[in-house]
A and B are shown apart, each in its own frame.
Chain A
Amino acid sequence: MKKSYLRSVFRTIRGTFSRFLAIFAIVALGVGFLAGLLSSPDDMRLSADRYYDDTGLYDLRVLSTLGLTEEDLDAVRGIEGVKEVLPVKDTDLLLLSSQGDSYTARIHTLPGDDSVSVNTPQLISGRMPEKSGECVVVATPSLVGDKDWIGEKLTVDREEAEEETRDSLPSSLTVVGTVKSSLYLSMEREHTTVGAGTLGLIAYTLPETFSYDYYTGFYLTGEGCEELSAFSDAYEDRTEALKESLDSLGEERSRLRYEEIIGEAEEELSKAQKELDDKKAEAEKELSDGEKELEDGRKELSDSEQRLRDAKAQIDSGEQELANQRASYNAQIAASQQQLDEGYAQLKSYEDALQEGLTKIEQAQAQIDAGYEALDKGDHQLLAAKEELDKTEAQLLALENGKQALWQAAAALNIPVTDTSDAGALALIDTLSSLSEEAAAPFAALKEGLLALAAQGQDTVSARVQLEAGKAEYEKNLQAAKQAREELDEQQKALNEQAAPVLEQQKALKEQREKLDRSKAQLQQAMASARLEFYQAEEELNDARAQYNDGLAKLNEGRKELESAEKELEDGRAQFHEEVEDAEEELRDARAKIRDIEEGQWHLFTRSSNAGFSSYASNADKIAAIASVFPVFFFLVAALVVLTTMTRMVEEQRLQIGTLKALGYSSGAIAFQYLFYAALGSVLGSVIGLLIGCRLFPYIIINAYNIMYDIPAAFTPFWPSYCLLSSLLMTLCALLSTLLACWSELRSSPAALMLPKAPKAGKRIFLEYITPLWERLKFTQKVTARNLIRYKKRFFMTVIGISGCTALLVTGFGIKDSISPIVSLQYEELNRYQLMVVLKSEEALSGREFKSIMGSKEEIEGSLPVMQNEGQVIPRRGDPEDSVSIFVPSDSALLPDYFTFRHRGDRSLIPFDENQVVVTEKLAQRQHLKVGDTIRVKNQDGEEGSFTITQICENYVSHYLYLSPAAYEEAFRTPPEMNTVLCKLPKDLSQQEQDQLVTRLLGCRDVTSAFSTTELSESFGNSIKSIDSIILVLILSAGALAFVVLYNLMNINISERKKELATIKVLGFYDREVSAYIYRETGILSLIGTALGLVLGFFLHQYVVRTAEIDVVMFARTVLPQSYLYSALLTLAFSALICLIMYPKLKAISMVESMKAPE
């Protein structure tokens, strides 16, 4: 190649840099996108595989419910192809944190020494356990969050733990570090039979922590497995081979182990049975003893009742007697009283008579006494009168003597005594006194006497007379009194004689009375004693009665006692029955457990049974499916971009081609220039595209999936196959387009090439023939219409590019629309139960505790036992082999309450009854079945049955065949055995309550597992989050696509029509009008592309969704209207953005261009 020629090539590139950039960009985009998406799944797999290899993830896991022994370990080590074996003592249990949070946990044991490097956890923080009782926890973001675990003390929930676990573990574990484990790539759907049913915490501890005497499992790696990708078929083959050789070992080993264990268990069981029987007998004996005792009591009671009756009779007769006696006594007493009274009466009359006599005597006596008294009185009066007379005589004598003395005194004094009367005495005394006091003084008494006598009208003389008279009378009276006394004494004597007999009588009467009084007293005494006797008798009777009452009370008491004893016995009997029932239930439990000890088969699991591994693998497959579709657009558009760009370039350089040709360059050499140009662009684009795409896309995708998976490092190597494939394809495409573009020019003669090429003739377009329409269009619209159709290549490039952009967006949004709603559709709208309990056998339904849980309305609103039989569809020719759950409700009428049977399209409900055979939609599609077709299925036991489909129902997850029990039995000749219970939970049941419910259910006999649909939907919801990032990738790619396409279109449009644009500028078009002239075309192309893209998006979405669907999952397959809207708006926004970017370029077109000669 000539140097100047090459220089010209490079100058061309520099001169047409935007064109070169267009080729470069679209190639980079196409190659990067294709290679990036193609290598993404492989990168995902590689990253995971590296991680697996680094951590020595097991290739095969050996489990035996019977436990594994040292001998088993040696035997496994001896198998050819086994590289390393890690024996573990794993256990699932509930752990409580110090805050009281409960975790459903799995504890793994670390290898005892460093010689084994299987399932090595990687330390994130803290340290590894160094002594028993220490542990590290797996810290995946989805699992334990940001909690600071180190130092946390986890307590074993002893109430919930199984006996064996409880006994072999310390009471608590101390967290000393956090690790990462490839065993738990994600935390989804790792099931367990304890606690909430799915694991919430994984811990590693030293084997010493456990005191099990057997291993729960072996993790082993195979020779040469590490070198193979864990996702490859070769790996699968190798592990399968290893599995097979272990299978046969397992059969042998487990038979031995089984026999040993079953023997032990049976022995224990029979011991328990015997114990039960013994206890039963003992209890029965005790019961019969009680019965007998009770009988005795009863007899005693009736005896004492009899005795009481006798006593009562006795009391009654005593009472009667007492009454009789009292009556006769009363009569007797009355008689004696009467007699006595009569005696008294008689006596009284006698006494009365006596009294009369006595009275008379007394009267007489009284008369006599009065006589005496009067006599005495008279004596007295006589005596007094005598005294009076003596006294008066003395006084009179004194006076007369005084008078004499006076007279002598008067005479002594010489006073004449003229008057000797009293008056003259007085006058003399007065005269004396007048003469001298002394002389008068011995006469004062005389004076007084005289005066007193005078006062009585008497005087001394009269008084002497009177006194003499009185003396005589006295004497006479004294005589009379003597006489009267004698008379009276006579009278007295007579009376005394008269009174003597009366006194006699009185005495006799007195005696009689005394006698009477005596008998009265006697009677009274008799009465008193009789009364006492009566009293005593009565007292006695009362005593007897009280005793009797006591006896009665005691009897009642005894009766009551007897009754309670009877009740006690009854209770005891009930308790006995209950206890026996309990014990028997326990035995049945134990028997069920022995049944659980399955035939001693080893369970061998490859990695595909690891939830993280399998879901990761299926996600990688999904990406692979999607990756195969999207880049098509980029390729198509890239080819068109290169074709139009190169065509334009060749056209521009027509003159140069002619010149070169004229100078003698061969067609090949000339073509080389353009091929080189295109090749350079493609190769550079490829390189850059690969450099970015192969790193960026896998990186974004792996990181997106790291929301769910814990892959420490993303490996994004260049996969030569993908790189070569995409870059070669693209470069070839570009070269072909270039060749196509220069082909016609190179064939022309140099002379023809020197002449300007006749501009491409305008043409009438079909629209013009639709005159009414055409005439209605505005002038500018006509121009646009014609221009659009004139440049077909550009038209297609733009429409394809834009529609690709829209389609990508629709697909992106649509994927989200399709996947997001299935969670709520399946788990809320279709499945109307919230809890699914899986049973080991139908017997669980009759478990007492199970029944009581199912019966408690506040926890479980309703439940329906169903059979879920994992069958196989017998495919018709060419259809895939699908597994199907044969779903038979125990009660057909109730099933619609637990599952909504409806058609997907119109949501019309399907009635479910005895005659319906309903198949889920996805299965019907896969097997190409319609209503009326016959589906043949094999059930779990290998029996075949065929059914005529009556309905196809909406369903998203898994395949189901819904049958009535009768239909099942008819087809398979065995009645369905219920092995699942669907439960409806009350709406207000909290998560915690639900967890507790699950925990209790798992504790019931023959219950295998319990899933809450919220859990299922949550784990599903998590996986959907990663879709958002993928949608972002799609949006960015779509934007890039739209940008490249529109930029290129605009560029070509402007450069090719520079003159036209300059001309219309000269004609006076404003800038706005000039840009509208171009943009109108771009706008219409964008609109057409968008519209087409929406349609295309619909199909692309359908395709991608179907491809990305897992066999057992049906996506919603709908794109929401707003997603179409968003896609369209985004696309239009992209094109508007490009118009905006290109505006300055349009404005810069110089009008001078219009003066230039045509090219």
Chain B
Amino acid sequence: MSHFIEFEDVCKFYTMGENRISAADHISFFVEKGEFCVIVGPSGAGKTTVLNMLGGMDACDEGKILLDGELISSYTPRQLTTYRRYDVGFVFQFYNLVQNLTALENVELASEICREPLDARKTLEEVGLSDRLGNFPAQLSGGEQQRVSIARALAKNPKILLCDEPTGALDYHTGKSVLGLLQDTCRKTGRTVLVITHNSALTAMADRVIRIKSGKAISNEKNEHPVPVEDIEW
């Protein structure tokens, strides 16, 4: 009973006017430590809700969320902030880099507030941007920006890395290389990585695939033979 990440009957409701929408309807799944997990489902299935709750951006209304034995679902907003600060690395679909900061500074923005940050410069070198450290986001391509975003998440030295459609705004090749980077990171550092996507093709590269539909986890499969991303086509 000691999975690294565990959702137990988690529910989340949104009230839109008079309607109450269940974004998560008794959802339960788990992920083991060090896995590269892909959560896949169609638009509106509740992927992002799951991510938000796991990332500490949103609280669940019912059920339990556990990470590394900690009951996140019971956290106060302040504790959630602390949790985000030290345990979660987040990669956004639209990179969300601070335009006014250089690549290096964007990474530093995160590392500044952490307890045991990785070296920002080194991290950027690791994501292959050693020659773009001083550039502003506007001077970088989408892929490069996403790499900075990944570096920013990694530099915090988090327990989990959450990626929300990391390739959504990227072209095919760039997306592939970013996914490769994420996969490599998982393999090299043993960090647990969760990627949310609507692209089922990506499931092939995952250690674990969780399928979500209408706010429910309809499957949770362990992929014994993940393939490198280069071998996947979509």
Contacts and interface: CB of A to CB of B under 8 A. Distances in A.
Interface of A: 758-763, 779-780, 782-783, 786-787, 790, 1059-1060, 1063-1071, 1073, 1151-1152, 1154-1158
B94 A783 contact: no
B105 A782 contact: yes
29 contacts: A759-B99, A759-B138, A760-B99, A761-B99, A761-B138, A761-B139, A762-B98, A762-B137, A779-B105, A783-B101, A786-B101, A1060-B99, A1064-B109, A1065-B81, A1066-B90, A1066-B92, A1067-B84, A1067-B110, A1067-B113, A1067-B152, A1068-B83, A1068-B84, A1068-B156, A1151-B57, A1154-B92, A1154-B96, A1155-B48, A1155-B92, A1157-B94
A786 B100 contact: yes
Contacts of A761: 99, 136-139
A782 B90 CA distance: 24
A759 B113 contact: no
B221 interface: no
Interface in B64-120: 78, 81-86, 88, 90, 92-94, 96, 98-102, 105, 108-110, 112-113
B55 interface: yes
Contacts of A790: 100
Specify which of B82, B100, B113, B138 lies most central, judged by the most chain A CB atoms within 10 Å of its CB: B100
Nearest to A1068: B85
Contacts of A782: 105
Contacts of A1070: 78, 81, 85
B113 A1063 contact: no
B164 A1155 contact: yes
Nearest to A791: B100
Nearest to B92: A1154
Contacts of A1157: 93-94
Given A783-B105, A1068-B81, A762 B92 contact: no
B164 to A, nearest CB: 6
B174 interface: no
A142 to B, nearest CB: 62
Nearest to B138: A761
A898 to B, nearest CB: 69
B203 to A, nearest CB: 22
B199 interface: no
Nearest to A780: B112
A1066 B81 CA distance: 8
Interface of B: 48, 52, 55, 57-58, 78, 81-86, 88, 90, 92-94, 96, 98-102, 105, 108-110, 112-113, 136-139, 152, 156, 164
B78 A1063 contact: no
Nearest to B110: A1067
Contacts of B108: 779
Given A762-B138, A783-B100, A1068 B52 contact: no
Contact of A1158 (B82, B86, B94): B94
A780 B102 CA distance: 13
B81 A762 contact: no
A652 B112 CA distance: 32
B18 to A, nearest CB: 21
Chain A binding surface SS class: helix
Contact of B96 (A763, A1059, A1073): A1059
Contact of A1060 (B86, B98, B105, B139): B98
A912 to B, nearest CB: 67
Specify which of B92, B96, B156 lies most central, judged by the most chain A CB atoms within 10 Å of its CB: B96
A762 to B, nearest CB: 4
Contact of A763 (B92, B109, B136): B136
Contacts of A1066: 55, 57, 84, 90, 92, 96
Contacts of B105: 779, 782-783
Specify which of B99, B101, B137 lies most central, judged by the most chain A CB atoms within 10 Å of its CB: B99
Contacts of B85: 1067-1070
A1068 B92 contact: no
A1067 B99 contact: no
Given A1067-B90, A1068-B84, A1152-B52, A762 B100 contact: yes
B92 A787 contact: no
Given A758-B138, A779-B109, A1069-B81, 7 more contacts: A1060-B98, A1060-B99, A1064-B98, A1066-B92, A1067-B156, A1068-B82, A1157-B94
A991 to B, nearest CB: 70
Given A762-B137, A783-B105, A1068 B100 contact: no
A1073 B108 CA distance: 15
A762 B101 contact: yes
Contacts of B152: 1067
Contacts of A759: 99, 137-138
A787 B138 contact: no
Contacts of B98: 762, 783, 1060, 1063-1064
A1063 B84 contact: no
A950 to B, nearest CB: 64
Nearest to B168: A1157
Q: Top 4 closest A-B pairs, CB basis?
A: A1068-B85, A761-B138, A762-B136, A1068-B84
Given A762-B138, A1152-B57, A783 B99 contact: no
Given A762-B138, A782-B105, A783-B105, A1063 B92 contact: yes
Contacts of A762: 98-102, 136-138
Contacts of B110: 1067
B187 to A, nearest CB: 25
Contacts of B82: 1068
A758 B101 CA distance: 15
Contacts of B102: 762
Given A762-B136, A762-B137, A790-B100, A1068 B88 contact: yes
A1090 to B, nearest CB: 25
A1154 B156 CA distance: 18
Contacts of A758: 138
Contacts of B137: 759, 761-762
Nearest to B169: A1157
B57 to A, nearest CB: 4
A1068 B138 contact: no
A1068 B99 contact: no
Nearest to B78: A1070
Given A783-B109, A1068-B81, A1155 B93 contact: yes
A780 B96 CA distance: 18
A786 B92 CA distance: 24
A761 B86 CA distance: 30
A779 B112 contact: yes
Contacts of A779: 105, 108-109, 112
A1063 B55 CA distance: 12
A143 B138 CA distance: 75
B122 to A, nearest CB: 17
Contacts of B52: 1151-1152
A783 B104 CA distance: 12
A761 B99 CA distance: 6
A572 to B, nearest CB: 111
B181 to A, nearest CB: 20
A1066 B149 CA distance: 13
A196 B85 CA distance: 82
Contacts of B96: 1059-1060, 1063, 1066, 1154
Contacts of B94: 1156-1158
A865 to B, nearest CB: 78
A336 to B, nearest CB: 167
B103 to A, nearest CB: 10
B142 to A, nearest CB: 12
A499 B159 CA distance: 207
Nearest to A778: B112
A760 B83 CA distance: 32
B154 to A, nearest CB: 13
A383 B109 CA distance: 205
A761 B136 CA distance: 7
Given A1066-B57, A1066-B84, A1155-B93, A787 B100 contact: yes
